[in-house]
Chain A
Amino acid sequence: MADATLSTSYTEAAVVAASKERGEPGWLTEKRAESARAFEALPMPTTKLRPWKYTDVSSLAIESFAPDAAFEPVVSGVGPQGAFIGSLAEAAADATFGPIVEQHLGSLIPATEGKFIAANAAQWQHGAFVYASRAKAFEEPVTITLEASSGAVYPRLLVVAEAASDVTVIVRCVSGEDAVLASQVVEVIAGADSNVKLVFDVDWGLGTQEFTTVRAKTDRGADVRIATLAIGGALVKQSLEGILEGEGSQARIRGVALGDGTQHFDFVTLQDHVGAKTQSDVQIKTALAGSSQSIYYGVTRVEETGLGAAAEQENRNLLLSRNAKADSDPVLEILTNDVIRCGHGATVGPVDQEAFFYLQSRGLDRRQAMKLLVAGFFNSVLSDVGDDALREEVAAEVEQKLAVASI
């Protein structure tokens, strides 16, 4: 990409000017400048870094993708009293919500952490902010639609759930066939005893490369669930992380991916047990047709302070064709002797031949049998999503994709 035209939007001067032009508050402009400097200073991740071992981005230049000025997340939903659902930029400039945004934005995922994150912190424009006030429950999920057309998009989402609140956010990702670079950053601050559910419906076109970091921090007794359903995209790399700080808090991370062609999925998970009696449960499942591939690297960490923690970590990869491949590496880092249970499991392999014959003996041909087995394989994750309409939509997408996938 060395000969590609590089966008001038990434320099500190350009970033600061754009921030001022948008009329952002001073503190945000300062953050922008810092982010732009970090972006300039940070190298692209190399395959020497464990989370990037199998996703080589050395030939990718972020600057060769001009930020898409027209990109704007569509945020919709109705919240209870005191809630905020809408643009992050507007919230940042708001008298009531500005201080909340200032306090939390970048607090979990600092711009200096990595090149893609720095690019996002410097470039996001509208963003989305969901705020659930104390002890209030949203009746309906908040939906955020990310529709990208070309160039670089920088979706930014901040969810702040105050104590004992309850909110579900569904992020839908769509794009056409043009080349898109999507670098997404999502921070979730889950207050004491809050329930936060976050679902990603990844249905990008086949020209899109996604790099996402989702990090949730839990206060005492909070329950955070993150689910990602990846069907589309040329390259989807997501890091889904739960920082379990508060005693008795829990995180459940689920992911399914259905690959075909040359699709490349890369999931990283982190279950960081900081607080006592924290619980986490990760399940990532992929089914891979064509020459698609999936990479999983997950760390379960129980800190010295994570007494009585319980963690499960599971990665299953179903190879539907001879050319599909998967690499799985679940890691446990246990720094205390006092854990309730800490399990992990990983499998990579073709569909169970006995199950396959069983379905064939009921009259299902190869493709019908595969469809049913894959649908079943995903079902545990889909049934956990809890949103019936979304679940049916994804089930239909899976069905459609498998009707033509090379298996």
Chain B
Amino acid sequence: MTEPILQLKGLKASIADQPEVQILHGIDLEIAPGEIHAVMGPNGSGKSTMASTIAGSPSYVVDEGQVLLNGEDITAAAADERARKGVFLSFQYPTPIPGVTMVNLLREALKARRGEEMPAREFLEELRATLSRLKMPEEMARRYVNEGFSGGEKKRAEILQMGMLRPSLAILDETDSGLDVDALRTVAEGVMALREPNMGILIITHYERILNYITPDKVHILVKGKIVKSGDASLAKEIEANGYDPILKELGLLEGATA
């Protein structure tokens, strides 16, 4: 049997600056090669913490448990090391990098990921192809990273990086937030088009909207830092129809949680 792309084993994590505030209370998750998983949950359930912790954000500390990538324990690895090993995080709020063009960033990131400079011609060809898949004008690549980008442009630029870096695990943190229907479709179709056959995808979302375009193999409901229910794509449809309350009620968790 092939190794799972991602395994979370009893993952508990807290805020680095406030170690007494634990956000994730023991998460178990396994994504096989080529699988798409969606983690859904109400606000404040710990979805973004989970995404950031897997990516190695210094804002969170792991109290217990493990993160394994392709069978390798990366729990103690720094963010850049994880990225070089194949973790990619599409940010919910991509940070502007003043004075650094997307081309510049991509070249550096590819150099880091591959351990060597990518030939200029090959790089340009791939960049052009990836841009066109995302319906992005070439001019976007010459602009400063996320500076003055619209919400849709920022999310597309994230997927552009995913497409160029070819990670083994892509974490899409609220990639659908702030997008109108057309932009959402473009981004979602871009994800599907740029996905490598073995890439694992973890979609973090509040709404099921994006799942209308990207069908997940598994859906997990995260509440108060724990996965309380897992199922197939129909679970997302259930939430679309009825919201989180019925599930929370069924599990006796409704009190204190907001939908």
- Verify if B99 is at the interface (C-beta below 8 Å from A): yes
**Cross-chain contact B108 with A361 (CB below 8 angstroms):** no
Residues of A within 8 A of B104 (CB): 372, 375-376
Number of chain A residues whose Cβ lies closer than 8 Å to a Cβ of chain B: 24
Check if A361 sits within 8 Å of B99, measured CB to CB. no
> What are the interface flags for A44-55 relative to B under an 8 Å C-beta threshold, 1 for contact and 0 otherwise?
000000000000
Residues of A within 8 A of B144 (CB): 376
- Give complex CA distance A115, B173 in Å: 61
Interface majority SS on B: helix, strand, loop or mixed? mixed
Residues of B within 8 A of A359 (CB): 97, 105
Contact B99 A362 (CB under 8 A): no
B64-105: CB near A (< 8 Å → 1, else 0) gives 000000000000001110111001110100111111100011
Q: Does A388 contact B (CB under 8 A)?
A: no
| B146: nearest chain-A partner, CB-CB | A358
A372 — which chain B residues lie within 8 A by C-beta?
97, 100, 104-105, 108
Q: Using A357-B57, A357-B58, A369-B80 as known contacts, say yes or no to A363 and B112 having CB atoms under 8 A apart.
A: yes
Task: Please report the C-alpha to C-alpha distance between residue A379 and residue B101 in the assembled complex, in whole angstroms.
Answer: 10
Instruction: Check A364 for interface membership: any CB of B closer than 8 A.
Output: yes
Q: Flag whether A213 is at the interface (Cβ < 8 A).
A: no
Query: Quick one: given A360-B78, A363-B83, A372-B104, are A379 and B112 in contact (CB under 8 Å)?
Result: no
Mark out the residues of chain A between 225 and 280 whose CB falls within 8 Å of any chain B CB in the assembled complex: none
Smallest CB gap from B167: residue in A: A363
**Is A11 part of the binding interface, using a Cβ–Cβ cutoff of 8 Å?**
no
**B83 A362 Cβ-Cβ under 8 A:** yes
Alpha-carbon separation in the docked complex, A377 to B104 (Å) = 14
Q: What is the CA–CA distance of A360 and B91 in the complex, to the nearest angstrom? A: 13
Q: Is the CB of A362 within 8 A of B58?
A: no
In-complex Cβ contact of A355 among B80, B96, B113 (8 A): B96
Asked whether, in the complex, the Cβ of A361 is within 8 Å of the Cβ of B55, the reply is yes
- Which residue on B lies nearest to A383, using beta carbons? B99
* CB of B98 to closest CB in A, whole Å: 5
Task: State whether the Cβ of A373 lies closer than 8 Å to any Cβ in chain B.
Answer: yes
Interface-central residue, A358, A363, A364, A366, by most chain B CB under 10 Å: A363
* Alpha-carbon separation in the docked complex, A361 to B112 (Å): 11
Cα distance, A135 to B101, chains bound together (Å): 38
Determine if A354 is an interface residue (Cβ-Cβ < 8 Å).
yes
- Interface 1/0 per residue, A335-360 and B, CB below 8 Å: 00000000000000000111101111
Question: How many whole Å from A171's CB to the nearest CB in chain B?
Answer: 24
Q: How far is the CA of A377 from the CA of B83 in the complex (A)?
A: 24
Write the nearest CB–CB distance from B220 to chain A, whole angstroms. Answer: 23
Q: Which residues of B contact A352 (CB under 8 A)?
A: 95
**Once the chains bind, are A357 and B98 in contact (CB under 8 Å)?**
no
A380 close to B (CB within 8 Å): yes
For B58, the chain A residues whose CB sits under 8 A away are 353, 357
- B56 surroundings in chain A (CB, below 8 A): 360-361
Q: Within 8 Å of chain A (Cβ to Cβ): is B109?
A: yes
Asked if A376 contacts B98 (CB within 8 A), the reply is yes
In whole angstroms, what is the CA distance A358 to B89 when docked? 9
B159 at the interface (CB under 8 A from A): no
Report if B161 contacts A (CB, 8 A): yes
Assembled-state Cα–Cα distance A353/B97 (Å): 11
**B112 with A362: CB separation less than 8 A:** yes
Is the pair B79, A357 in contact by a Cβ cutoff of 8 Å?
Answer: yes
Which of the residues A353, A361, A365, A376 comes within 8 Å of B100, measured between beta carbons?
A376
A364 touches B80 (CB 8 A): yes
CB-nearest residue of chain B to A366: B80
A363 touches B100 (CB 8 A): no
List the B side residues contacting A355 at CB < 8 Å. Answer: 95-97
Question: Which residues of the partner chain A approach B80 to less than 8 Å between Cβ atoms?
Answer: 360-366, 369
B62 within 8 A of A: no
23 A-B pairs with CB atoms under 8 Å apart are A355-B97, A358-B94, A360-B56, A360-B83, A361-B83, A361-B87, A362-B83, A362-B112, A363-B80, A363-B84, A363-B109, A363-B112, A364-B80, A364-B109, A372-B105, A372-B108, A373-B97, A376-B99, A376-B104, A377-B98, A378-B99, A379-B98, A380-B98
Other A-B contacts than A363-B80, A363-B112, A364-B80, 14 sampled, CB-CB below 8 A, are: A355-B95, A357-B95, A361-B55, A361-B56, A362-B83, A363-B109, A363-B113, A363-B165, A368-B112, A372-B97, A372-B100, A375-B104, A376-B98, A379-B99
What is B's interface to A at a CB cutoff of 8 Å? 55-59, 78-80, 82-84, 87-89, 91, 94-100, 104-105, 108-109, 112-113, 144, 161, 165
Task: List the 5 shortest-distance A-B pairs measured between CB atoms, nearest first.
Answer: A376-B99, A379-B99, A363-B112, A376-B100, A363-B83
